[in-house]
């Protein structure tokens, strides 16, 4: 399971939009995806999925009054959504990670409040990676770089609302990055409760989300293979495996990696 937080320095750059569109894209690629609202000030992720009423929230799950499985709302795209209340929870957020591990999710995307305050510090402590969402104007970019220095996790940048493929005069980051173009009538999709990439799978934005999702799936599979190879190598160094057996296992793992990154779409 990869737990990934969408972060930003400034507000309104597109974190929630990124979580919704990347979430449905990963799900259409056959990944098991949960999106969790951890914006404890303005929780609005559910609107992107057309969810206007709900029985339970992240807060109930953390308090232990309801199981995670019962609280998750299933969206037709295959994404599971967990809304939250507008207050920093008083229970440890790590309970969420434990519950999600039992559900065997491949990716868990967390939406957050801008900056790394308001509960975000604890939240980052349980994440594997952060998606730094930014726009390409100089002021937002400078603020994003400030956050990047403080996160302490592997980073991937999402340069959102790009106009005409322009980088607005800023140099691309050193970490992996994806650029998402601006699309027309964003408010209409929000009111409709359908992520844009789901409505326009052939569009430029959907293609960029697909590239980003593909990179994330491949990196996750590579990490999994590397971890199990390291385990095998530990055994070999203890004399438990022959070199020949190790090379057979390595080939098997490489094939699995290839399979996983080319898994057919679910729909």
Ligand X SMILES: Nc1ncnc2c1ncn2[C@@H]1O[C@H](COP(=O)(O)OP(=O)(O)OP(=O)(O)O)[C@@H](O)[C@H]1O
CA distances from 129 to 15, 198, 216 (A): 15, 24, 10
Helices (H) then strands (E): counts for the chain: 10, 8
For Mg ion (CB under 5 A), the number of binding residues is 2
Among 180, 206, 217, 221, binds ligand X (CB under 6 A): 180
- Which x/- pattern, by CB under 6 A, does the window 21-50 give for ligand X? ------------------x--x--------
Distance CA 106, CA 25 (A): 13
Q: Does 15 bind ligand X (CB under 6 A)?
A: yes
Q: What is the number of other CB atoms lying within 10 angstroms of the CB of residue 265? A: 11
Partner from ligand X, Mg ion, none binding residue 180, C-beta < 5-8 Å depending on class = ligand X
Q: Which is nearer to ligand X, 92 or 172 (CB)?
A: 172
Residue 160: which of Mg ion, ligand X, none does it interact with, CB under 5 to 8 A by kind? ligand X
* Contact flags string 12-41 toward Mg ion, x per CB under 5 A: ---xx-------------------------
What span, in angstroms and rounded, lies between the C-alpha atoms of 75 and 125?
A: 28
Residue number, 31 or 160, with CB nearest to ligand X: 160
Residue for token digits 């868990």? 108
Least distance between ligand X and beta carbon 10 (Å): 7
For residue 116, the minimal CB distance to Mg ion (Å) is 15
For residue 47, the 8-state DSSP code is: G
CA angle 147/118/135 to nearest 5° reads 35
What is Dmax (Cα atoms) for the chain?
63
Q: Does 12 sit near ligand X (CB under 6 A)?
A: yes
Please report, in angstroms and rounded to a whole number, the separation of the first and last CA atoms in the chain: 22
- Cβ 239 to ligand X, closest distance in Å? 54
* Distance from C-alpha of 151 to C-alpha of 131, rounded to nearest angstrom: 10
Smallest distance from ligand X to CB 42, Å? 5
Rounded Cα distance between 185 and 189, Å, is 7
- Confirm or reject binding of residue 208 to ligand X (CB under 6 A): no
Q: Which residues bind ligand X (CB under 6 A)?
A: 8, 11-17, 39, 42, 114, 160-161, 180, 182-183, 186-187, 190
């Amino acid at each position: 399971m990869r737990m990934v937080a969408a972060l930003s320095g400034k507000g309104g750059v597109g974190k929630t939009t990124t979580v919704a569109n990347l979430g449905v894209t990963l799900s259409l690629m056959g990944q098991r995806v949960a999106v969790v609202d951890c914006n404890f000030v303005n929780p609005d992720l559910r609107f992107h999925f057309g969810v206007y009423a709900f029985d339970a929230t992240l807060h109930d799950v953390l308090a232990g009054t309801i199981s995670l499985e019962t609280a998750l709302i299933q969206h037709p795209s295959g994404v599971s959504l967990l809304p939250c209340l507008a207050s920093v929870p008083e229970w440890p957020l790590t309970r969420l990670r434990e519950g999600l591990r039992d559900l065997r999710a491949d990716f868990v995307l967390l939406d957050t409040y801008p900056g790394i305050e308001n509960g975000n510090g604890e939240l980052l402590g349980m994440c594997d990676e952060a998606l730094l969402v930014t726009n390409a104007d100089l002021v937002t970019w400078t603020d994003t770089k400030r956050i990047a220095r403080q996160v302490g996790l592997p980073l991937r940048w999402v340069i959102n609302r790009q106009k005409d493929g322009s980088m607005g005069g800023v140099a691309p980051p050193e970490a992996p990055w994806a650029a998402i173009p601006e699309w027309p009538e964003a408010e209409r999709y929000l009111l409709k409760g359908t992520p844009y990439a789901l409505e326009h799978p052939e569009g430029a934005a959907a293609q960029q989300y697909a590239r980003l999702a593909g990179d994330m799936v491949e990196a996750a599979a590579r990490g999994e293979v590397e971890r199990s190879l390291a385990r095998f190598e530990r055994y070999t160094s203890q004399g438990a495996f022959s070199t020949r057996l190790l090379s057979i296992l390595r080939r098997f793992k490489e094939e699995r990696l290839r399979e996983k990154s080319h898994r057919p779409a679910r729909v």
